[in-house]
Amino acid sequence: MQLPKNLILISILYCFFLPVQNTTRAQQSFKIHSHNDYLNTVPFWTAFGSQAASIEVDLFLRNDSLLVAHEVETIHPARTFQSLYLENIRKSVQLELEHKPYLLLVDLKTEAEPTLNRLMEICEGYLDILYSPSNQNGIKLVISGKRPYSDRYKNYPAYLFFDHQELTDLALLDVDKVEMISLPFDKFSVWNGKGRIVEEERQALKAVIDAVHQIGKPIRFWATPDSKTAWKALHELGVDYINTDHPSEANKYLGNLADRLVIGQLKSDIYEPHFMYDGKQAKVDKVILLIGDGTGLAQLNAGMVGNGNQLNILNLKNIGLVKTQALDDFTTDSAAGGTAIATGKKTHNRGIGQNDTVPYNNITAALSALSFYNGLVSSDNITGATPAAFFAHQKDRDNINGIGLDLSLSAINVFIAGGRNDFLRYQNGAYDSLVSNGFEIISTLADIQNSEYLKVGYFASHHGLPSVLKGREGYLAQATFQALEFLRKKEGPFFLMVEGAQIDTGGHQNDAKKVVEEVIDFDQAVGVALEFADKNPGTLVLITADHETGGLTLPQGDVSKNLVELEFSTEDHTGIMVPIFAYGPHADSFKGVYENTEIYGKIMEIILKYHLKTDR
């Protein structure tokens, strides 16, 4: 195949300036070029507020005026270079508005010499804001479009620099007056900004970028694709000025890209389930329900990539989808979502275990009547909305006072979570009520399984628990193990709810690293549950979520590097369906698409096949 002439030229330049095997380039901070800036509703200030490093203005010389326009047909006599740009730049200086250094790229649409002459005349009145050896912070005007011959660059004032647009003379170029080199993107690639640049074109772009960098100059391409994918790809290639018509969006996207690119650090060891009882019509006398608060499919996918493209959760075969709407809102909160799962009834957002006036019978109370023991584990406070939905009845989730008192009178036999202070701060006797109602409050997590009490509790923190990133690593899996051992030793049927609470926190904070690490941490607890199920026949394991948080998408990643890009669309919950995974006897009952209230109904239907109501 015969290479196009421009690719041959690039290859020659690349070999001359920089041998391929020695190519290294540290990732630089991104710079935004506000292309055709004057077409913005608010010229200059939009780009300035977006921290653009280069702002482009097109100029026409008409009757001694320099007018800002894209073509002759749109020229307006009031839109002068001074009014739209020079005066506003001066105003920004007078107001001492903070901004990183930026260029004003002046694209001349009329003949170079007369236009430049008039430009210099006008600039005599603005020398206070323009670059000079004595004003290093002044603005550089970079002349693009119709330019004088490069051998004349040196004849122009200190504040005038040039946007060079040729490759053939790079080795001979006097670069002192060249501020950047700009080239047409379509000369090297036909990429439309979606998917990935084909490798031949990527190499061609990389070659010319490195050749320009070898002479110590930044590079910009014009007529580039203008999308998030394109901005990221061009930045990764080493393009210095990212060309865009959307400076605000580009600045926001690239500005937090490093925080949204996550390489998983935590490790969830994969337990291989044997599936001996999976989907069998056999007795169920142990139910482990794991709730990843705020965990949708994207969160699981992100955790999977971060964990070497595998999760314990994703080994399971019986999968369904759960609708999450609250009684009074399309998008549920954890209180209404938890209540739906725990009681089989919808409630309004913020409601815990009841509607406005009527308490709902929750699953722990219902199962206690069938001689089941019950347990709760959470990386939140025990009074948090999700665990509270399994024992409390309060009109508002923030009635911590009432929720704490409800726990002491509940059917819970073991709890492990944070929030000891929630039982002390109201001075209402909530902590003493736990003890007087039979709870042994353990001081060491490892001692839970050995307690001979009927009821036991462990406060993992006085206030809230830290995230995995801040030292909570391993807690949820260990707490799950301890709770399961405590319940197993009671030698009776049991129900255990385990909540990975801080996946939701990461979603609310739009903290990509937290989401990935919290999913992996949650998956460790899932591994403990699956192994327990295989060792203890009659165990049904369910993994689901109360809702999705963050409107998460995963635009790009690299599975081989455990690398994934997370992008959030909101800091709140969303109404998207969440997955449910089931393992063990009757796991196939949880396939399909259904309301969150049906989780309760399906569990109870299975249990009632094998257990009659008794008075334990």
Q: Which residues are catalytic?
A: 334
Is 504 annotated in a binding site? The answer is yes
Distance separating alpha carbons of residues 496 and 540, to the nearest angstrom: 11
Please identify which residue in the block is written with the tokens 């080199």: 181
DSSP code of 369? T
In contact, 352 and 313? CB cutoff 8 Å: no
Sequence-separated (6 or more) residues with CB below 8 Å from residue 544: 289, 290, 291, 292, 322, 341, 578, 579, 580, 581, 599
The neighbouring-strand residues paired with 374 are 495
Q: Which amino acid is at 228?
A: K
151 is in an annotated binding site: no
Q: What dihedral do alpha carbons 439, 444, 447, 448 form, nearest 10°?
A: 40
With b meaning 16 or more CB within 10 Å and e meaning fewer, what string describes 445-466? Answer: beebbebeeebbbbbbbeebbe
**DSSP character string of 550-574:** S--B---EEGGGTEEE-B-S-SSEE
Smallest Cα–Cα separation from 599: which of 411, 389, 350?
389
The span from the CA of 506 to the CA of 68, in Å, is 46
Annotated ligand binding at 293? The verdict is yes
How, if at all, do strands 373-381 and 54-62 pair?
unpaired
The answer to whether 586 is a known ligand-binding residue is no
Q: For residue 505, what is the DSSP state?
A: H
- H/E stretch holding 584 reads none
Give the per-residue SS3 of 340-361. HHHHCCCCCCCCECECCCCECC
Q: How far apart are the first and last CA of the chain?
A: 83
Question: Is 70 annotated to bind ligand?
Answer: no
Q: What is the C-alpha to C-alpha distance for residues 349 and 191, in angstroms, rounded to an integer?
A: 47
C-alpha distances out from residue 109 to 84, 126, 145, 583, Å: 17, 22, 6, 69
Is 98 one of the annotated binding-site residues?
Answer: no
Contact between 445 and 480 under an 8 Å Cβ cutoff? The reply is no
Write out the two tokens for 10.
Answer: 């690039």
Is residue 523 a known part of a binding site?
Answer: no
Q: Cβ(486)–Cβ(375) under 8 Å?
A: yes
Three-state DSSP at 579 gives strand
Residues 6 or more apart from 59 whose CB is under 8 A from it? 66, 67, 68, 81, 106, 107, 108, 109, 110, 115, 119
Residue with tokens 């899996």: 477
- Residue stretches of the annotated binding site for Mg(2+): 293, 386, 499
Binding residues for Zn(2+), as ranges, are: 293, 504, 508, 546-547
**Residue ranges for the binding site?**
293, 386, 499, 504, 508, 546-547
